[in-house]
Chain A
Amino acid sequence: MAYTVPRPKLTFAEKIYLPTVLAGLKITLGHLVKMLRGKTEVIMQYPEEKWDANLPDHYRGAPTLVSDEHGRTRCVACQLCEFICPPRAITIKPAEIPSDNPFAKVEKFPGEFEIDMIRCIYCGMCEEVCPEQAIFLRKDYAITGSTRKEMVHDKARLIELGGVRTGLVHKWNEKK
């Protein structure tokens, strides 16, 4: 069935268009005057002023690897994040923990762990899928670099960004 689009009834002033031009100018020039008098509060001059303190808790920034209270990287190289990553930004090369290590029962650790920050879409799936709570999205958003290589975060950089988190998972502790 044909649908008739309701057309608004225009007054004479709207039909000849020139008065509406003035009405439009009133709005735009009003904003201009407001800006010139410094009455607008939505402006933030980015590199000097930042919104960082007001970022919400659920903000998804750069993914990082966290260490536990013993200084051990929590990751056990299960590669779940690598498999779930939609843009395939994560590359893990697992390695074996030698038997004389106090954490030998963990068996695996990431020999290499790289996240390509050019590919990363900050979806947070790696954080969600991780059974060890080893990968977290931080609030860092200004990830820049002048080469492609610089934009690939390797294991050392990821651990440095992640910092230490205690609690949460205790299953690999000595006594358990």
Chain B
Amino acid sequence: MNLLLELDWFYIATSLAKTVFLLGVVLTLVSYTVYAERRVSALMQDRLGPNRTGFPITLLGAKKDFSPFLGGLGQPIADAVKLLLKEDFTPNYVNKFYYWIAPGLGIAAGIVALAVIPFGSEIAGVPMVIANLDIGPLFVFALTSVGVYGIVLAGWSSNSKYSFLGGMRSTSQMISYELSLGLSVVPLFLILGKLNLVEIIAYQVKNGWMVLPGITAASPSLPTLEQIVLWIPVLISFIIFTVAMFAETNRLPFDLPEAETELVGGYHTEYSSMKFALFFLGEYAAMILGSSLIVVLFFGGWSVPWIPDGSAPGAAGIIWGLVNIGVFFAKVVALLLFFIAIRWTLPRFRYDQLMKLGWIWFFEIALVNIFLTAFILAYFFPRS
């Protein structure tokens, strides 16, 4: 009884509210990223894409179709309804247990990892992060690895050669890119001295974004020599991290696990209906997670110079807190559009090219980069 009385109800309520908010925003973002993918790819190929969604009431004798969604904006809803109503077919030669848990693993990992992403500064004293862990990036990397298990299990349990090849490719892709993904962010945490995603944003508010050092509200000046020298390893980190993120989320040019032209559908060949949709959504959830992580690590999270955070008392604090959240999601959306643009620009890498890039180039460069950063820190920033 005592335990119940001592529960921090305010903390529980705010955490729940943040969870519901983030889940709602991210799931909406996922479905509209799918729509954006179709529209942007169409526009790049001189087409229009899905630009009309509605109810075909002309079939019932009406004069015009009823389209209340402003062109094609209702497309995600129509897609969801279609996928929910389709027959959920399970082939009888699959390993049922793993076949059933694989789609869940994929999407659950991507969504749970969002808990440590700080998506805003603070509103009325409540920090806008669901779980302020001191091992934020490690938590994210651990969960994205679990997400890859979803693909591996789907490929293996489907008992089909195409799925199996897709799962196998995903495994090898994961082990060759997870290393460089983890190693490439080490320089950032050498600079910061901590593994906390909230504090890395605090650092970037004080010293300028990682990719744009020196530009801050407090001292709008050109970056100093030390900052410029430190900029080099950060930019190398940024490029390696972004490319590894592309590989991690199975996006082109690294979409080998689901290479449609070679493997029919890749790891989800045998899936249908909502189970297929879960894979599909999981891929986009992972994309949003990756973009959020890049924004937090390199683009200052919710911060923009000259826009204050939500620490001010009263209504001003709340308004600026909301603006910060908007800024964060605007940055994420910009990165998502970049992901999409890259997908429709580059051809797929060959399998051996991918392995060579991962093992011979990125792994070594990331490793050397750590030593470079350590040297620069020791030489230019002696510990006071």
**Chain B residue contacts of A34, Cβ below 8 A:** 46
Instruction: Judge whether B48 is part of the interface by a CB distance below 8 angstroms.
Output: yes
How far does the alpha carbon of A31 sit from the alpha carbon of B46 in the complex, in Å? 7
The residue on B at minimum CB distance from A35 is B43
The residue on B at minimum CB distance from A25 is B345
User: In the complex, which of the residues A21, A31, A32, A42 has the most CB atoms of chain B within 10 Å of its own CB atom?
Assistant: A32
**Chain A residue contacts of B341, Cβ below 8 A:** 25, 28-29, 32
The residue on B at minimum CB distance from A40 is B46
Interface majority SS (helix, strand, loop, mixed), chain A: helix
Given A28-B44, A31-B43, A36-B43; A21-B239 close (CB under 8 Å): no
**Chain B residue contacts of A43, Cβ below 8 A:** 46-48
Instruction: Judge whether A18 is part of the interface by a CB distance below 8 angstroms.
Output: yes
Instruction: Judge whether B277 is part of the interface by a CB distance below 8 angstroms.
Output: no
Instruction: Judge whether A143 is part of the interface by a CB distance below 8 angstroms.
Output: no
Q: What is the CB-to-nearest-CB distance from A85 to chain B, in angstroms, rounded to a whole number?
A: 34
Instruction: Judge whether A99 is part of the interface by a CB distance below 8 angstroms.
Output: no
**Chain A residue contacts of B43, Cβ below 8 A:** 31-32, 35-36
Given A18-B239, A25-B341; A31-B45 close (CB under 8 Å): yes
Instruction: Judge whether B307 is part of the interface by a CB distance below 8 angstroms.
Output: no
How far does the alpha carbon of A27 sit from the alpha carbon of B347 in the complex, in Å? 14
Instruction: Judge whether A45 is part of the interface by a CB distance below 8 angstroms.
Output: yes
**Per-position binary interface string of chain B over residues 329-369, scored 1 when its CB falls under 8 Å from any chain A CB and 0 otherwise:** 00000000000011011100000000000000000000000
Q: What is the CB-to-nearest-CB distance from A42 to chain B, in angstroms, rounded to a whole number?
A: 6
How far does the alpha carbon of A35 sit from the alpha carbon of B46 in the complex, in Å? 6
**Per-position binary interface string of chain A over residues 37-58, scored 1 when its CB falls under 8 Å from any chain B CB and 0 otherwise:** 0001011010000000000000
The tally of CB-CB contacts under 8 A between chains A and B is: 36
**Chain A residue contacts of B44, Cβ below 8 A:** 28-29, 31-32, 35
How far does the alpha carbon of A36 sit from the alpha carbon of B345 in the complex, in Å? 18
**Chain A residue contacts of B342, Cβ below 8 A:** 21, 25
Q: What is the CB-to-nearest-CB distance from A28 to chain B, in angstroms, rounded to a whole number?
A: 5
How far does the alpha carbon of A34 sit from the alpha carbon of B239 in the complex, in Å? 29
Instruction: Judge whether A19 is part of the interface by a CB distance below 8 angstroms.
Output: no
Q: What is the CB-to-nearest-CB distance from A100 to chain B, in angstroms, rounded to a whole number?
A: 48
**Chain B residue contacts of A29, Cβ below 8 A:** 44, 341
Instruction: Judge whether B40 is part of the interface by a CB distance below 8 angstroms.
Output: yes
Interface size class of B (residues with CB under 8 A): 10 to 19
How far does the alpha carbon of A27 sit from the alpha carbon of B344 in the complex, in Å? 11
**Chain B residue contacts of A18, Cβ below 8 A:** 239
Contact of B346 among A21, A31, A32, A40 (CB under 8 A): A21
Instruction: Judge whether A24 is part of the interface by a CB distance below 8 angstroms.
Output: yes
Q: What is the CB-to-nearest-CB distance from B238 to chain A, in angstroms, rounded to a whole number?
A: 12
**Chain B residue contacts of A36, Cβ below 8 A:** 43
Chain B, range 10-64, C-beta contacts under 8 Å to A: 40, 43-48
Contact of A42 among B46, B239, B346 (CB under 8 A): B46
**Chain A residue contacts of B48, Cβ below 8 A:** 35, 43, 45
**Chain A residue contacts of B239, Cβ below 8 A:** 18
Q: What is the CB-to-nearest-CB distance from A128 to chain B, in angstroms, rounded to a whole number?
A: 36
How far does the alpha carbon of A43 sit from the alpha carbon of B239 in the complex, in Å? 37
**Per-position binary interface string of chain B over residues 236-252, scored 1 when its CB falls under 8 Å from any chain A CB and 0 otherwise:** 00010000000000000
Q: What is the CB-to-nearest-CB distance from A21 to chain B, in angstroms, rounded to a whole number?
A: 7
How far does the alpha carbon of A32 sit from the alpha carbon of B49 in the complex, in Å? 12
Contact, CB under 8 Å: B346 / A24: yes
Q: What is the CB-to-nearest-CB distance from B296 to chain A, in angstroms, rounded to a whole number?
A: 23
How far does the alpha carbon of A113 sit from the alpha carbon of B11 in the complex, in Å? 80
**Chain A residue contacts of B344, Cβ below 8 A:** 28
Q: What is the CB-to-nearest-CB distance from A162 to chain B, in angstroms, rounded to a whole number?
A: 29
How far does the alpha carbon of A169 sit from the alpha carbon of B14 in the complex, in Å? 88
Contact, CB under 8 Å: B345 / A27: yes
**Chain A residue contacts of B40, Cβ below 8 A:** 32
How far does the alpha carbon of A21 sit from the alpha carbon of B43 in the complex, in Å? 19
How far does the alpha carbon of A40 sit from the alpha carbon of B43 in the complex, in Å? 10
How far does the alpha carbon of A16 sit from the alpha carbon of B45 in the complex, in Å? 27
How far does the alpha carbon of A34 sit from the alpha carbon of B44 in the complex, in Å? 9
How far does the alpha carbon of A77 sit from the alpha carbon of B72 in the complex, in Å? 51
Q: What is the CB-to-nearest-CB distance from B252 to chain A, in angstroms, rounded to a whole number?
A: 12
Contact, CB under 8 Å: A21 / B345: yes
**Chain A residue contacts of B47, Cβ below 8 A:** 43
Interface on B for A, CB 8 Å cutoff? 40, 43-48, 239, 341-342, 344-346
Apart from A28-B341, A29-B341, A34-B46: 10 A-B pairs, beta carbons within 8 A: A18-B239, A21-B342, A24-B345, A25-B342, A25-B345, A31-B43, A35-B46, A35-B48, A43-B46, A45-B48
What would be 10 A-B contacts, judged by CB atoms less than 8 Å apart? A21-B342, A21-B345, A21-B346, A24-B346, A31-B46, A32-B40, A32-B341, A35-B48, A36-B43, A42-B46
The 6 closest A-B pairs by CB, nearest first: A24-B345, A35-B43, A28-B44, A28-B345, A32-B43, A32-B44
